[in-house]
């Protein structure tokens, strides 16, 4: 009898545990099958690879994922953790830190899709001593991670900087998330530095469409401390950054494009569109999309073709074609469709599914389709662009559609020539760290 007093609660606890594990297995399997069925199998950036031989099935990685429970990125199948929704993973990296047995490795690319990245050390230094990379160029598209990389890179540069002998300790190139955080860190440490930005404060964030949600997680900035931001729009974030810059006295050289970086007697000579800077170190905090990827078709040089959307309202009552299958393309198509009552909007993508886009953007596109505001043409390609029309090639033939404007959102080209000219080696990652 006394033995039963102990066995019954244990049996009950084991029963509840087994039931929960089974429920998690069923849900994870369902989510995985849905992703496979929709063709959503390619991670967009940094993502985990889990070693099933090492994994003990504790579920710590699932609990640590900041996307849970809104999105089931990680799941448990047959007692082992798996990446069940690859396209929903945006590279937080919290899963690896939470794994108690080191079963998770964070990698870029897959066996079928390579990702070009500059070669850097764990301290963000490239193969060229004194030349560092942080943020999106190094694979960190997530704003919070880019901010943290910018701060850490400056700490490394500050710790090893020589004393005197140069005009500057550091030239920061780019005023996006990584560059902004790096500039604050350099200001905090009283370094001699300048930040150059070819466009405006915000870098790639400044180029996003109006109203785009750019941050959903808190971040920590030098001098300022933790920013407890949730569902923060582009405008709100830029307003905050401008406010911080004003309060701290932080300066940026906007509209100044860097042309070359060359070794110069133990440091670097940075030439820009406005002048020259001699510095001990350089931090590249630029984006990967500085040069838009073009379609390479006849008529692409027409004035009606653009490579980013800023204001959807400028396309009201127009016949608009958006080209691309990533988040920027879906956001552009949905944003224009939502305000375009008198015209028409077509979203053309050569793939079978929007495998690289976030669920929120796929839902916006689906809603616009249901309302009759947007026509989606998968497995289609632009054959040529004419002044008043566009010719699209699909599986069932060639179609000519009336058109006033074309928005190409096909991503950007890694600035490989610029990197090679600076001596930086670029590696293609196929599912490797």
Which CATH number characterizes residue 329's domain?
3.50.50.60
pLDDT higher at 341 or 184: 184
Domain that holds residue 373: 292-411
Lowest mean pLDDT among 78-87, 90-99, 320-329, 390-399: 90-99
Domain stop point among 77, 107, 137: 107
Residues 274 and 321 in one domain: no
Model pLDDT, residue 16? 67
Encode pLDDT of 360-372 as tens digits: 888 899 999 999 9
**Residue 172 is assigned to a structural domain of this protein:** yes
**Residue 97 is assigned to a structural domain of this protein:** yes
**Residue 6 is assigned to a structural domain of this protein:** no
pLDDT higher at 162 or 141: 162
**84, pLDDT greater than 80:** yes
**63, pLDDT greater than 80:** yes
Residues 255 and 298 in one domain: no
**290, pLDDT greater than 60:** no
Residues 211 and 308 in one domain: no
Residues 265 and 318 in one domain: no
At 401, the pLDDT band (50, 70, 90 cuts) reads very high
Q: Other CB atoms closer than 10 Å to residue 297's CB: what's the count?
A: 16
Residues 29 and 78 in one domain: yes
pLDDT higher at 55 or 341: 55
The sign of the CA dihedral 214, 216, 217, 220 is: positive
Model pLDDT, residue 83? 92
**From CA 322, how far away is CA 366, in angstroms rounded?**
15
Mean pLDDT of 113-142: 83
Residues 308 and 369 in one domain: yes
Q: Are 203 and 312 in contact (CB under 8 A)?
A: no
The owner of tokens 């150059």 is 196
Exposure string of 107-133, with b = 16+ CB inside 10 Å and e = fewer, is: bbbbeeeebbbbebeeebbbebebbbb
CA 396 from centre of chain: 34
**Residue 4 is assigned to a structural domain of this protein:** no
**Residue 8 is assigned to a structural domain of this protein:** no
**12, pLDDT greater than 70:** no
Mean pLDDT of 390-396: 92
Q: What total number of domains does the chain contain?
A: 3
Mean pLDDT of the chain: 85
* Angle subtended at Cα 132 by Cα 130 and Cα 133, rounded to the nearest 5 degrees: 170
pLDDT higher at 210 or 419: 419
**Residue 80 is assigned to a structural domain of this protein:** yes
Residues paired with 119 in a beta bridge: none
The owner of tokens 């958006």 is 322
pLDDT higher at 231 or 54: 54
Residues 276 and 127 in one domain: yes
Residues 179 and 248 in one domain: yes
Q: What is the CATH number of the domain that holds 96?
A: 3.30.70.20
**Residue 2 is assigned to a structural domain of this protein:** no
**Residue 249 is assigned to a structural domain of this protein:** yes
Enter the tokens of residue 299.
């008529």
At 238, the pLDDT band (50, 70, 90 cuts) reads confident
Residues 239 and 323 in one domain: no
Residues 149 and 269 in one domain: yes
Residues 227 and 317 in one domain: no
**From CA 72, how far away is CA 85, in angstroms rounded?**
7
Domain stop point among 107, 132, 166: 107
Output the CA torsion 327→332→337→340 (10° steps): 170
Verdict on whether the full-model pTM lies above 0.75? no
Residues 317 and 380 in one domain: yes
């Amino acid at each position: 009898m006394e033995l039963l007093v102990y066995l019954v609660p244990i049996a009950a606890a084991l029963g509840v545990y087994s039931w929960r594990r089974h429920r998690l297995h069923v849900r994870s399997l369902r989510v995985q099958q849905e992703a496979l069925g929709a063709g959503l199998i390619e991670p967009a950036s940094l993502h985990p690879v889990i070693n099933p031989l090492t994994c003990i099935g504790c579920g710590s990685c699932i609990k640590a994922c900041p996307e849970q429970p809104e999105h089931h990125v990680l799941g448990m199948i047959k007692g082992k953790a798996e990446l069940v929704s690859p396209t929903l993973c945006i590279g937080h990296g919290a899963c690896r830190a939470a794994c108690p047995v080191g079963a998770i490795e964070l990698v870029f690319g897959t066996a079928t899709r390579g990702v070009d990245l500059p070669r850097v050390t764990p301290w963000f230094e490239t193969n060229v001593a004194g030349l560092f990379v942080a943020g999106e160029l190094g694979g960190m598209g997530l704003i919070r991670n880019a901010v943290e990389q910018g701060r850490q890179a400056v700490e490394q540069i500050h710790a090893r900087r020589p004393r005197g002998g140069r005009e500057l300790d550091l030239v920061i190139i780019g005023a996006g998330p990584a560059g902004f955080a790096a500039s604050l860190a350099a200001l905090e440490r009283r370094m001699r530095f300048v930040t150059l930005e070819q466009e405006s404060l915000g870098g790639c964030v400044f180029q996003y469409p109006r109203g785009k949600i750019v941050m959903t997680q808190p971040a920590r900035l030098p001098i300022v401390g933790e920013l407890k931001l949730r569902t923060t729009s582009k405008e709100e974030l830029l307003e905050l950054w401008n406010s911080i810059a004003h309060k701290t006295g932080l300066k940026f050289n906007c509209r100044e494009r860097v042309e070359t970086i060359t070794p110069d007697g133990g440091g670097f000579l940075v030439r820009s569109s406005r002048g020259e800077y001699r510095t001990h170190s350089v931090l590249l905090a630029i984006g990967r999309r500085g040069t838009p990827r073009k379609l390479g078709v006849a008529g692409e040089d027409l004035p009606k073709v653009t490579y980013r959307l800023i204001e959807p309202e400028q396309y009201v009552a127009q016949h608009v074609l958006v080209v691309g299958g990533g988040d920027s393309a879906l956001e552009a198509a949905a944003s224009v469709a939502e305000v375009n009552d008198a015209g028409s909007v077509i979203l053309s993508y050569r793939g079978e599914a929007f495998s690289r886009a976030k669920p929120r953007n796929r839902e916006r596109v689906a809603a616009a389709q249901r309302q009759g505001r947007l026509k989606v043409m998968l497995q289609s390609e632009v054959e040529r662009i004419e002044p008043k029309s566009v010719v699209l090639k699909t599986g069932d033939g060639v179609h000519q559609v009336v058109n006033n404007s074309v928005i190409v959102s096909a991503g950007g080209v890694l600035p490989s020539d610029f990197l090679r000219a600076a001596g930086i080696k670029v590696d293609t990652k196929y599912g490797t760290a």
